[in-house]
C-alpha cells in the first residue's frame, strides 16, 4: 500500500510505525502537518491509498477526509475522546488503557473504529508509557486496521469529548496531596507540559525515603531536589523555569541554589542514576539518565563506574542503559544552558569519547550493550563500542547525527562501523537520517542479536545469553585482544579520534552555525517549518525522476 503519514512531528510513535510499515513492504512517505495546502499538495504528489495520522495535534481538513481514506491513531481506549487521553488515564489511575485507530470524520475521535488494542498500565511517566505500551499497541492496531481496510469499521456510540487537562487539574497541593497523588500528577504531565509549581514546571519524579514538613525542600542529590510530602518525600530530577533565560528542561539543582544537605548521588538513599550488580561472573551496569541524555559529568561518572566494574573478578560486563532510553548521546539541554555552548559541546563529546575508548580498549572482560529501549545519535555508536550489541525487538534506533545541524559525530563511529557493519553498510548508515527498527539494524550489523518484545523478558534472556558468553570467555577474549592489537597496528584509535574531533571542532567552533541553530531549535522545541526531504519522499525530485525514467 502507499501510505502517507501525516504528523505533527516525527516522534517516537511515528518513527516506530514508519519503520514497521517499511519493513512490511509498504511504500511510505511523510508530510508534517504545517499547512493545509501543503498537505493537499503532498496527497496530490504521492496519491496514497491511506493517510495515517499517528501523531496529530489538530483536525484533518474536511475536504481531505471526505475525499481520502484517513486513519487516526488515538492514544485512548474505545470510546475515549479528546486531547489529553493518556494524561487523564494516569491521573485517574486506570489499571488498563489502550489505543484506538479511527477513521477521520467531522467530529474529533468520533469516526468508525478500525482497530483497538489494550494494555496494562504501569507506574511510570506519560512519556515512558507513550514510548513503550502506547507505541507497541498502536503498531498492532495500525496493522490490524490496514488488514481490515476493505471490510469497514465498527461504529461505536459517541461519548462526549473531554477537553485538554488544564494546569489547575495537574497542580499539586503540598499540604493535602500524598506522595502517590503527587507522583501521579507529575507522571501524567511528564514530557509535556509538566506540572506548574510556583516559578517552575516539575518533571522526573521518584519516591524518596525521607520525611519532613510537607512542601519543604529537604535535600539535594546530584541533579535532583527532595521535597517532603504529607506522608513521605519525592525526588524531582528536572524542572523548567516559567520565565528567565533558559525556559527549557534542566536538572533541578541547576535551577535552584539551595542550602540543604546533599545526599551522595547513586547511593541507595539518593537520586540513583547509575547502579551496578553482579550475577554469576557477569557485572550489570545500568545508567538510567533522564531522556537518555548524557552530560559531561554523567559520562565521567559512568566511566568511573565502568572502570570499577572492570576491576571486578567477573568475565562479562553488560551495559544496560536506562528504562526509557539506552542513550541519546551528548546532553543538548545542558550544552544550551552553558555560558559557552561550543566549549561545553567539546567537553561533552570528549567525555563520551573517553567512555567509548575505555570500552573498546577493555582487555580484561567481554562487553555487551543490552539495548532494551530506544537509542539515538552518539548513543547508538557508544553501544557499538561493545563486543556484542543485543537489541530488544521493539526498539527504534536513530543512528545518525546529521539532523543536528550536520553534526559529523564521533564516539569512534569511523572505526566501529566499518569494523562491524562493513564498508557498504557504513556508507548507507552514514548517509541516511532515518529511524530503523530491529530487523534493519541487525541486517546492517549495527546489532548482533535481536530478541524479546518486552523489557522483563529482554533482561531475563540477556542474563541467559551473558552466561553463554561466559562459557566461551577465554577463547573469545583472546580473539578480541588479538583483533584489537592488529587494528591498532593498522591505524591507532587516537588517529580516528583526532580525525573525528577535527570535524566536530568545525561543527562547534567553525563559521557555519548550523549545529548551534539546530540544537537551539531542538531544545526549545521549535516546530519545523517544512518536512525534511528525507521524509517527504513525494517531494524528492531524485526519487520522482527515477520512477519516471
Q: Specify which residues 102 forms β-bridges with.
A: 72, 113
Helix axes 493-509, 341-360, angle to 10 degrees: 160
The interface with ligand COA within residues 329-348 (CB under 6 A) comprises 329-333
- Candidates 266-274, 280-288, 370-378, 500-508: pick the segment binding ligand COA (CB under 6 A): 370-378
Q: Pattern 142-181, binding to ligand COA, x per CB under 6 A?
A: ----------------------------------------
For 308, other C-beta atoms within 10 Å of its C-beta total 12
What is the residue-wise DSSP string for 411-468? TTHHHHHHHHHHHHHHHHHHH----EEHHHHHHTTS-SEEE-SSHHHHHHHHHHHHHH
Closest CA to 288 of 116, 99, 455: 455
Q: Write phi, then psi, for 67 (nearest 5 degrees).
A: -105, -10
DSSP conformation class of 354: H
Residue 376 makes contact with ligand COA by CB under 6 A: yes
- Candidates 163-171, 286-294, 444-452, 482-490: pick the segment binding ligand COA (CB under 6 A): 286-294
- Candidates 96-104, 281-289, 310-318, 399-407: pick the segment binding ligand COA (CB under 6 A): 399-407
Residue 408 makes contact with ligand COA by CB under 6 A: no
Q: Are 312 and 283 in contact (CB under 8 A)?
A: yes
The interface with ligand COA within residues 28-87 (CB under 6 A) comprises none
Among 5, 6, 7, 12, binds ligand COA (CB under 6 A): 12
Contacts of 517 (CB under 8 A, 6+ apart): 405
- Candidates 210-218, 324-332, 422-430, 470-478: pick the segment binding ligand COA (CB under 6 A): 324-332
Between 269 and 527, name the residue whose CB sits nearer to ligand COA.
527
Q: Are 60 and 103 in contact (CB under 8 A)?
A: no
Closest CA to 93 of 123, 138, 135: 123
Q: Write phi, then psi, for 401 (nearest 5 degrees).
A: -115, -15
CB of 525 to ligand COA, least distance (A): 7
In the block, residue with C-alpha cell 484517513: 70
Between 360 and 373, name the residue whose CB sits nearer to ligand COA.
373
What are the cell numbers at 429? 548508515
Question: Cα separation of 294 and 331, whole Å?
Answer: 5
The interface with ligand COA within residues 509-548 (CB under 6 A) comprises none
- The edge-to-edge listing of strands for the beta sheet with 449-451 is 274-279, 282-287, 316-321, 366-371, 388-392, 449-451
- Candidates 77-85, 290-298, 440-448, 496-504: pick the segment binding ligand COA (CB under 6 A): 290-298
CB of 317 to ligand COA, least distance (A): 22
Q: Are 198 and 225 in contact (CB under 8 A)?
A: no
CB of 248 to ligand COA, least distance (A): 8
The interface with ligand COA within residues 78-137 (CB under 6 A) comprises 127
Helix axes 341-360, 296-310, angle to 10 degrees: 10
Count the site residues for ligand COA by CB under 6 A.
Answer: 23
Between 192 and 527, name the residue whose CB sits nearer to ligand COA.
192
Between 219 and 404, name the residue whose CB sits nearer to ligand COA.
404
Q: Specify which residues 368 forms β-bridges with.
A: 318, 388
Residue 328 makes contact with ligand COA by CB under 6 A: yes
Q: What angle do CA 401, 402, 406 make, to 5 degrees?
A: 120
Among 29, 179, 398, 531, binds ligand COA (CB under 6 A): 398
Among 75, 111, 191, 321, binds ligand COA (CB under 6 A): 191
Q: Write phi, then psi, for 272 (nearest 5 degrees).
A: -95, 110
CB of 13 to ligand COA, least distance (A): 8
DSSP conformation class of 108: T
CB of 71 to ligand COA, least distance (A): 21
Among 29, 39, 179, 291, binds ligand COA (CB under 6 A): 291
CB of 100 to ligand COA, least distance (A): 21
- Candidates 162-170, 300-308, 323-331, 414-422: pick the segment binding ligand COA (CB under 6 A): 323-331
Residue 378 makes contact with ligand COA by CB under 6 A: yes
The interface with ligand COA within residues 206-265 (CB under 6 A) comprises 249
- Candidates 50-58, 132-140, 227-235, 288-296: pick the segment binding ligand COA (CB under 6 A): 288-296
In the block, residue with C-alpha cell 552466561: 467
Among 2, 8, 11, 480, binds ligand COA (CB under 6 A): 11
Q: What residue ranges in 121-198 does DSSP mark as E strands?
A: 195-197
Closest CA to 399 of 356, 354, 464, 445: 445
Q: Which residues bind ligand COA (CB under 6 A)?
A: 11-12, 127, 191-192, 249, 291-293, 328-333, 374, 376-378, 398, 401, 404, 407
Amino acid at each position: 500500500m502507499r501510505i502517507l503519514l501525516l504528523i505533527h512531528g516525527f516522534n517516537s510513535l511515528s518513527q516506530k510505525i514508519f519503520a514497521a510499515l517499511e519493513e512490511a513492504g509498504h511504500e511510505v512517505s511523510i508530510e508534517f502537518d504545517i499547512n493545509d495546502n501543503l498537505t493537499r499538495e503532498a496527497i496530490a504528489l504521492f496519491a496514497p491509498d491511506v493517510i495515517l495520522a499517528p501523531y496529530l495535534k489538530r483536525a484533518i481538513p474536511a475536504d481531505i477526509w471526505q475525499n481520502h481514506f484517513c486513519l487516526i491513531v488515538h492514544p485512548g481506549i474505545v470510546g475515549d475522546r479528546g486531547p489529553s487521553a493518556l494524561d487523564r488515564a494516569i491521573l485517574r489511575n486506570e489499571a488498563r488503557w489502550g489505543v484506538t485507530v479511527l477513521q477521520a470524520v467531522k467530529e474529533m475521535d468520533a469516526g468508525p473504529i478500525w482497530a483497538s488494542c489494550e494494555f496494562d498500565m504501569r507506574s511510570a511517566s506519560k512519556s515512558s508509557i507513550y514510548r513503550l505500551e502506547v507505541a507497541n499497541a498502536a503498531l498492532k492496531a495500525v496493522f490490524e486496521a490496514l488488514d481490515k481496510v476493505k471490510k469497514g469499521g465498527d461504529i461505536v456510540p459517541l461519548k462526549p469529548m473531554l477537553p485538554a487537562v488544564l494546569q489547575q487539574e495537574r497542580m499539586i497541593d503540598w499540604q493535602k496531596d500524598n506522595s502517590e497523588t503527587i507522583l501521579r500528577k507529575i507522571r501524567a504531565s511528564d514530557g509535556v507540559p509538566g506540572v506548574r509549581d510556583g516559578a517552575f514546571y516539575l518533571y522526573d519524579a521518584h519516591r524518596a525515603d525521607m520525611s519532613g514538613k510537607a512542601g519543604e525542600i529537604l535535600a539535594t542529590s546530584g541533579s535532583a531536589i527532595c521535597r517532603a510530602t504529607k506522608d513521605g518525600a519525592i525526588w524531582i530530577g528536572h524542572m523548567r523555569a516559567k520565565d528567565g533565560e533558559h525556559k527549557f528542561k534542566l536538572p533541578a539543582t541547576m535551577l535552584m541554589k539551595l542550602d540543604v544537605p546533599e545526599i551522595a548521588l547513586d547511593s541507595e538513599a539518593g537520586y540513583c542514576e547509575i547502579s551496578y550488580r553482579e550475577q554469576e561472573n557477569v557485572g550489570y551496569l545500568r545508567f538510567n539518565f533522564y531522556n537518555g541524555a548524557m552530560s559531561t559529568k554523567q559520562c565521567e561518572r559512568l566511566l568511573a563506574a565502568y572502570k570499577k566494574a572492570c576491576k571486578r573478578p567477573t568475565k562479562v560486563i553488560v551495559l544496560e542503559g536506562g528504562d526509557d532510553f539506552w542513550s541519546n548521546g551528548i546532553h543538548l539541554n545542558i550544552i544550551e544552558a552553558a555560558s559557552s555552548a561550543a566549549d561545553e559541546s567539546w567537553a561533552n563529546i570528549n567525555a563520551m569519547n573517553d567512555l567509548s575508548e575505555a570500552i573498546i580498549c577493555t582487555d580484561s572482560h567481554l562487553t555487551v550493550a543490552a539495548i532494551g529501549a530506544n537509542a539515538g545519535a552518539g548513543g547508538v555508536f557508544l553501544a557499538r563500542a561493545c563486543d556484542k550489541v543485543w537489541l530488544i525487538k521493539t526498539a527504534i534506533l536513530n543512528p545518525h547525527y546529521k539532523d543536528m545541524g550536520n553534526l559529523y559525530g564521533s564516539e569512534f563511529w569511523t572505526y566501529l562501523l566499518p569494523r562491524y557493519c562493513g564498508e557498504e553498510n557504513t556508507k548507507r548508515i552514514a548517509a541516511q537520517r532515518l529511524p530503523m527498527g530491529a530487523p534493519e539494524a541487525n541486517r546492517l550489523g549495527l546489532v548482533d542479536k535481536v530478541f524479546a518484545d518486552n523489557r522483563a523478558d529482554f533482561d531475563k534472556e540477556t542474563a541467559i545469553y551473558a552466561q553463554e558468553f561466559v562459557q566461551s570467555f577465554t577463547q573469545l577474549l583472546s580473539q578480541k585482544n588479538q583483533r584489537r592489537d592488529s587494528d591498532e597496528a593498522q591505524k591507532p584509535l587516537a588517529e580516528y579520534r583526532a580525525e573525528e574531533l577535527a570535524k566536530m571542532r568545525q561543527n562547534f567552533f567553525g563559521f557555519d552555525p548550523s549545529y548551534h541553530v539546530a540544537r537551539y531549535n531542538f531544545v526549545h522545541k521549535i516546530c519545523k517549518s517544512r518536512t525534511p526531504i528525507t521524509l517527504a519522499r513525494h517531494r524528492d525530485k531524485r526519487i520522482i525522476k527515477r520512477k519516471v525514467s
